[in-house]
Amino acid sequence: MLNIINKSPLDRGSLDTCLQSADAGAILLIEDGVYAATKGSAGEAKLKAAGGKFKIYALGPDLEARGIADRVMDGVTLVDYGGFVDLVAEHKTSQSWL
Q: Are 1 and 32 in contact (CB under 8 A)?
A: no
Instruction: Give the model confidence (pLDDT) of 14-52 as tens digits.
Output: 999 999 999 889 999 999 999 999 999 989 999 999 988
Q: Are strands 76-79 and 54-59 parallel, antiparallel or unpaired?
A: parallel
Q: What are the structural domains, with CATH classification, of the chain?
A: 2-97 (3.40.1260.10)
Under DSSP, the state recorded for 68 is -
The pLDDT value recorded for residue 42 is: 86
Instruction: Give the model confidence (pLDDT) of 53-94 as tens digits.
Output: 999 999 999 999 999 999 999 999 999 999 999 999 999 999
Q: Which helix (H) or strand (E) holds 61?
A: helix 60-65
On the 0-12 / 13-18 / 19+ scale of CB atoms within 10 A, 42 is middle
